Amino acid sequence: MKQIQDIFSKVQETKRKQRELNRAYRDSLNNTQQYVDILEKMEELKQKKKIIVENLKKEFPQLDRLKADIESDNLMLSDLTINCMIKGEPIEIVDEYNNKYQPILNVKFKKI
């Protein structure tokens, strides 16, 4: 357990250093007039793009429905996969091109 804590502490310290360097980097960028001008132009273009995208998206309402279906199916797939793994059952998925897939678990730590 001590080793896990040591590595976690090292990661936290490295992240702190990264934040400090990123802050200094952003400050340097924001002090460059050419960079600030480009950001302003980009913001104008983003707004124009947003308007165009919103207008065209109205013509394709099924996209949002399909996106929601995919998210719910992926959640169901994850739940079923975890249940099968807990039971000790082998898991292998094959797509239409005969590519095989295996589950990959990822552990993250959340502040409590």
State the pLDDT confidence band at 19, using cuts at 50, 70 and 90.
Answer: very high
CA 39 vs CA 43, 45, 53, 76: distances in Å = 6, 10, 20, 41
pTM over 0.75: no
Give CA–CA dist 82/14, Å, rounded.
33
CB within 8 A of 30, min separation 6: which ones? 36
Report the percentage of the chain scoring pLDDT > 90: 75
